[in-house]
Structure 1
Amino acid sequence: MQSNEHSNIGLLKEIAELLNEETEMITMLQGALRKFLAGTQFETGWIFFIDTKGKHQLLAHENLPDALEYGSCRHLEKGGCWCVSKYRNGELKKATNMIECQRIENAIDAKVGDHAGITHHATVPLQSGQEKFGLLNVASPNTVAFTDHELALLESVAFQLGSAIKRIMLTKQEQEMALVQERNRLARDLHDSVNQLLFSVTLTARGGSEMAEQPEVKETFREIQHLTQEALTEMRALIWQLRPKGLETGLIEGIKGYSEMLGLTIKVKVSGVINLPSRTEETLFRIAQEGLNNVRKHAGVQEAELFITVTLTDVLLVLKDEGCGFQMDSNVQIPSIGLQSMRDRAKAAGGTADWVSHIEKGTELLIRLPH
């Protein structure tokens, strides 16, 4: 018994060192799970993160049997189970033996691979203080229940993981706050310096045009005024992108304000209630900005339509114009007019970005994001 205690202390120390070194969430979870399984009698494990709506996401797994790993862990990703249900209901307080697991049972019944004797698992909530993040599940072949000693060790590791998860989340929040502050600083600098200089050049060019007597000189000043005005509009758009002031009054008002700043008229239709996470709202706002920029620069029209549909699981944004459109060859890369940027933003948020465009028939942008 004393030997086991020394062994467990050594294992917890190794895991603590790993958790202190890691700064990326997935890498940290995967590494800690791998080290825990290597130092115990547990042979397989997986980690769910569960959001405030009760939706779970498989973030890490190690040494899964074929039946559970089949189809990109289909039976772990989909469906319900007792451990997640107990977690949602607040009934799961400590490491617990699960009497049955619907996910494992479904994987075995589907006969999609060897389940390697995995029929039951133990589960423990991952939390820091009163803040909960998800579940750590572990299992061993031909084991229905684990001992109190094994469950106590599982709780100790879950406590370490919960603290590390909270640390990484706080660090990420600090980084995001620092980024926002830097964006605001840059936006202020651009507004106070470059923006004012361009405005001064516009006024100077207009004055030169009014005073010039020779037609060629007058036309040159007018051209300078026109180009400077274009640059001023671009600068204001850039400042908006750095500091989306419109989001303070909501997503729709933010998009309308940006459209007005670009000189566009936009018709908006909303289905469902817009009550989205701030990160989802900002992603939609950034994508809509890029889409509206494309309308102004490339469509050759001054009007667009925006449709937003919100369901229980995702939000669909459609931006449509009746401009000149474009023809895209599937054999070449995406045109460099912001389309790739929109696709990258949507993908980073777990969503998709697609578009349909035809020459002289306009363009339709379709964005779908989970929330």
Structure 2
Amino acid sequence: MNEEALSNIELLKEIAEFLNNETEQCDMLHGALKKLIKGTSFTTGWIFFIEEGGKHQLASYEDLPESLENNGCELMHNGGCWCVNRFRQGKLTKASNIIECQRIEKAIDEKRGETDGITYHATVPLSSGDEAYGLLNVAAPNKTHFSKDELALLESVAFQIGSAIKRIALTKKEQEIVLLAERNRLARDLHDSVNQLLFSLTLTARGGAEMTSEEQVKETFQTVQTLAQEALSEMRALIWQLRPHGLENGLVEAVKGYSDMLGLTLEAKVEGVISLSSKVEEVLWRVSQEALNNCKKHAGVNTIHYLLKDDGKKVSLLIQDKGDGFQYDEAQPLPSIGIESMKERVKSLGGTFLMKSALGKGTKLTVEIPY
């Protein structure tokens, strides 16, 4: 076995050990790509994720030439190229030499900066079993052809990365299942214990108020009854947050059920064909809950306007009331942890969160999440 082959085996071992220890996809892709570039004659590399609809996303890159990194990697994020198009057509199933890079050609035409002598790149699909995720591309200065050994190395690395992508996805899914099971368990425990105790306390206080003729004692029992009923309502809302009834029938049905439980009237409207991923549905559900809770506590009205819209590129959510409103300035710190939480949830999916409110003019909340 020659020295180059031994070096490749050592590199594959090093990458495999790294991938086995990584649990975050972003760090995994960046680290594996960095080790590949450092351990070979390749000088730059990048990874595209490609969705089922064909849209590509620059998932990671290492040492891109100035022309490709120009303006926030604009040329890498936008437009098509031969490797992406072949992947979409199902014609890219193994490591291949690719003719001149269209993105480099465009960078030269637009005078975007140095290309570091790169005109060609090799490409290999990232996959695991029947699942295809995207492409791994590598290049080197003045290199127009990649050897069989280089392509074989790329296929081995791509196989390892593809397997790691699937492992991380399965691990996250398993964690979500465990979290859901724990929420359900906690909801059951609260319902069977604290919820029942509060209900019993409400009945006991009502009975005590009816049994006594002393006005002061009666008022005390009535106060206890009122507090117990309020605590019971809060507990039911908490149980709903942990285990929403109706979410299996869709987001809008779940929100309707939650608004009914709070004693609110939801005027709901849906536009477009709504098909949400579990992550997007979870975020919109939590945002809806917090918005309805705020309305119940602060708006002073019971009617909520709720619009869920899908235009094929993004899902939009509008929640509006015509209640008391509050003085809100987006430039200032948000007035409650709940609003901050909504904003962070939406931001985690690359979405936008906008709230408008003024005293006596109600509150309008708008969320947009691309997909």
TM-score, reference length from structure 2: 0.96
**1:70-92 Cα deviation digits (max 9, x unpaired):** 22211111222222221122111
**How far has the Cα of 1:51 moved from its partner?**
2.3
SS at match of 1:188: helix
8 A Cα contact 1:47 1:135, kept in partner: yes
**What are the residue-to-residue correspondences of 1:204-219 with 2, within 5 Å?**
204-219=204-219
| Structure 2 CA distance for aligned equivalents of residues 327 and 311 of structure 1 | 32
Unaligned runs of 5+ in 1: none
8 A Cα contact 1:294 1:337, kept in partner: no
8 A Cα contact 2:68 2:75, kept in partner: yes
8 A Cα contact 1:133 1:162, kept in partner: yes
Change (3 A) 1:360 1:152: same
Higher mean C-alpha deviation, range 263-272 or range 107-116: 107-116
Does residue 168 of structure 1 match 2:145? Answer: no
**What are the residue-to-residue correspondences of 1:37-116 with 2, within 5 Å?**
37-116=37-116
Higher mean C-alpha deviation, range 251-260 or range 43-52: 43-52
**1:178-210 Cα deviation digits (max 9, x unpaired):** 111111111111111111111111111111222
| Structure 1 CA distance for aligned equivalents of residues 212 and 98 of structure 2 | 87
| Structure 2 CA distance for aligned equivalents of residues 320 and 307 of structure 1 | 9
After TM superposition, where is structure 1 displaced by more than 6 Å over at least 4 residues in a row? none
Higher mean C-alpha deviation, range 312-321 or range 80-89: 80-89
SS at match of 2:150: helix
Does residue 263 of structure 1 match 2:263? Answer: yes
**How far has the Cα of 1:276 moved from its partner?**
1.6
SS at match of 2:178: helix
Does residue 367 of structure 1 match 2:364? Answer: no
| Structure 2 CA distance for aligned equivalents of residues 103 and 231 of structure 1 | 62
Higher mean C-alpha deviation, range 254-263 or range 169-178: 169-178
8 A Cα contact 1:246 1:258, kept in partner: no
| Structure 2 CA distance for aligned equivalents of residues 188 and 216 of structure 1 | 38
**What are the residue-to-residue correspondences of 1:334-349 with 2, within 5 Å?**
334-336=334-336, 338-349=338-349
| Structure 2 CA distance for aligned equivalents of residues 330 and 79 of structure 1 | 35
Letter in 2 for 1:341: S
| Structure 1 CA distance for aligned equivalents of residues 143 and 178 of structure 2 | 49
**How far has the Cα of 1:148 moved from its partner?**
1.9
SS at match of 1:356: strand
| Structure 2 CA distance for aligned equivalents of residues 85 and 6 of structure 1 | 35
Letter in 2 for 1:155: E
| Structure 2 CA distance for aligned equivalents of residues 148 and 198 of structure 1 | 73
Change (3 A) 1:217 1:116: same
Higher mean C-alpha deviation, range 327-336 or range 187-196: 327-336
Equivalent residue for 1:312? 312
Does residue 197 of structure 1 match 2:197? Answer: yes
Higher mean C-alpha deviation, range 255-264 or range 44-53: 44-53
Higher mean C-alpha deviation, range 314-323 or range 238-247: 238-247
Change (3 A) 1:167 1:144: same
**What are the residue-to-residue correspondences of 1:233-312 with 2, within 5 Å?**
233-312=233-312
Higher mean C-alpha deviation, range 182-191 or range 169-178: 169-178
| Structure 1 CA distance for aligned equivalents of residues 229 and 85 of structure 2 | 59
| Structure 2 CA distance for aligned equivalents of residues 240 and 84 of structure 1 | 45
SS at match of 2:70: helix
**How far has the Cα of 1:370 moved from its partner?**
1.6
Does residue 232 of structure 1 match 2:232? Answer: yes
| Structure 2 CA distance for aligned equivalents of residues 75 and 99 of structure 1 | 18
**What are the residue-to-residue correspondences of 1:148-187 with 2, within 5 Å?**
148-187=148-187
SS at match of 1:200: helix
| Structure 2 CA distance for aligned equivalents of residues 39 and 146 of structure 1 | 16
8 A Cα contact 1:315 1:368, kept in partner: yes
| Structure 2 CA distance for aligned equivalents of residues 333 and 343 of structure 1 | 12
Equivalent residue for 1:137? 137
SS at match of 2:246: helix
**1:217-240 Cα deviation digits (max 9, x unpaired):** 222222222222111111111111
> Identity of paired residues, percent?
60
Equivalent residue for 1:355? 355
SS at match of 1:142: coil
8 A Cα contact 2:128 2:159, kept in partner: yes
**How far has the Cα of 1:108 moved from its partner?**
2.7
Letter in 2 for 1:247: L
| Structure 1 CA distance for aligned equivalents of residues 228 and 103 of structure 2 | 63
Q: Size of the alignment, in residue pairs?
A: 371
Letter in 2 for 1:3: E
**1:71-118 Cα deviation digits (max 9, x unpaired):** 221111122222222112211100112213332323332323222122
| Structure 2 CA distance for aligned equivalents of residues 171 and 347 of structure 1 | 23
Letter in 2 for 1:334: L
| Structure 2 CA distance for aligned equivalents of residues 307 and 103 of structure 1 | 41
| Structure 2 CA distance for aligned equivalents of residues 235 and 100 of structure 1 | 64
**How far has the Cα of 1:245 moved from its partner?**
2.4
TM-score, reference length from structure 1: 0.96
| Cα RMSD (Å) | 1.5
| Structure 2 CA distance for aligned equivalents of residues 288 and 304 of structure 1 | 11
